[in-house]
Amino acid sequence: MKLVYRILLHLSWVLTLLLAGWAALFYFALIDEVNDEVDHALEARAEVIVKRVLAGRAMPESTAEGNTGYLLREVPAEQTRGRAYERYSDEEIFIPERDDEEPARVLRKTFRNAEGRWYELTVMTPSIEKEDLAEAIFYGILYLYLFLLLSVLLVTVLLLYRTMRPLYALLRWLDNYTVGADNPPLEVETSVTEFRRLNEAAVRYAARAETTFERQKQFIGNASHEMQTPLAVCRNRLEMLVDDPQGLNEEQLGEIAKVQHTLDYLVRLNRSLLLLSKIDNGQFPETEAVDFNALARRTGEDLSEIYAYRGLRFECTETGTLTARMNPSLAGSLVGNLLKNAFVHGAEGGAVRVRIAAHRLEIDNDASEGALDAGHIFERFYQGSKKKGSTGLGLAIVDAICRLYGLRIQYAFRDGRHLFTVDFPE
């Protein structure tokens, strides 16, 4: 979730809680104020009536008219428990003329005259419909909330996008930044201290990455060169010993052959590791349109001659023309490693089949054993079954090339055959 949307989400629910709490407080405060004013009026009216009763003056007929009026009645002393009281309540009063009930605020007050007789005075006055008031306040708050929410969100979005513009510029620069490439400078003008420090940190770490990258390239190149030289010297000296076998018996010649085989393996391993490092470092910027149909046919025919002693057949089916912009050397490594893997690990007397479509390359071979571990076959030095001469880096190189160019490679085991599929973007 984007930062802007997360902020808006938090603002929305916080504003909802605040407005809901404010609406409840406003409602109860309003009701309390209304009741307070009505209670004062009822108390003043009741006080006038009580004074007239205590003074013995004549009173109007003590009947209530609807929800307005008063009612005075004598009550037993036991009912009052010997003390006066005042009670306020909200009640619904039935009005016969309207055949309906109306809300009223009611005061019930007991008092005792000079003769010791107890009276209960009930004074009523019309009141507001609290349910209607609550509903009106609810809809008023709802409309206010929607208006405030939209206003706050709109202002927040505008301010955030304006304020976060330097951050978005930095993110775009980082997304397009490639170590070792010719990258444009970071030009973001901002007065915000945090953004300025973030830009400085990004530039600083980019410079550090460039320095490390250059040192790594230099180290890989130097290491490869320095390793190739002594390996070549060792191979040459061993070949000289084999060419001049005087003083060497068959057992010694056999040991020299084993050493030569080990040196050949080290040479291939060194080249594969160097290639992997260069791929990971993006040291193959040159691209051109590569014809995978011709590349697969040519590579398959060459390997079928090399591995003819194993009785493997090479079959190529083309249902479309597959062309992609890649580094030609890496394209050759991609096809070559997949086909070599099929020839090396294929069952003797089986077939290596290649199917080429407009956006797909499929290579399968008969399996000499069961399925491979699909979760690990593209890891470096993983080998389902150790084969003579294999470095365990072929599929790792294929995976690295696919990741470099955004290709999708998959492995499947179907009908006793290993199947590798490379999907090219359309």
Q: Helices 250-280 & 193-243, crossing angle to 10 degrees?
A: 160
CB atoms under 10 Å from CB of 267, counted, come to 15
Decide: 198 and 301 in contact? Cβ < 8 Å: no
> What tokens appear for 297 in the block?
């046919």
- In the predicted model, what is the mean pLDDT of the chain? 79
Flag whether pLDDT at 5 surpasses 90: no
| Helix residue ranges per DSSP H, 318-387 | 328-345
Residue 172: predicted pLDDT: 86
Whether the per-residue pLDDT at 266 is higher than 60: the answer is yes
**pLDDT attached to residue 341:** 86
Contact call for residues 62 and 73 (beta carbons, < 8 A): yes
Residues 291-305, mean pLDDT to the nearest whole number: 90
pLDDT beyond 60 at 67 = no
CA distance 296 to 306: 15
Q: How many residues are given for the chain?
A: 426
Residue whose tokens read 């007050």: 109
pLDDT at 392: 66
pLDDT of 306 above 60: yes
pLDDT at 423: 92
Structure confidence by residue, pLDDT tens digits, 73-102:
888 877 777 677 788 888 777 766 567 677
pLDDT value at residue 349: 84
Q: Does domain 288-423 have CATH number 3.30.565.10?
A: yes
Inform me whether the pLDDT recorded for 54 exceeds 90: no
pLDDT at 356: 92
- String of DSSP letters for 48-73: HHHHHHHHT-------EETTEEEEEE
**Which pTM was predicted?**
0.48
Q: What is the tens place of the pLDDT at every residue in 199-226?
A: 889 889 888 888 887 777 777 666 666 6
pLDDT of residue 56: 74
The bridge status of strand 68-75 relative to strand 64-65 is antiparallel
**Domain regions of the chain by residue span:** 3-150, 195-280, 288-423
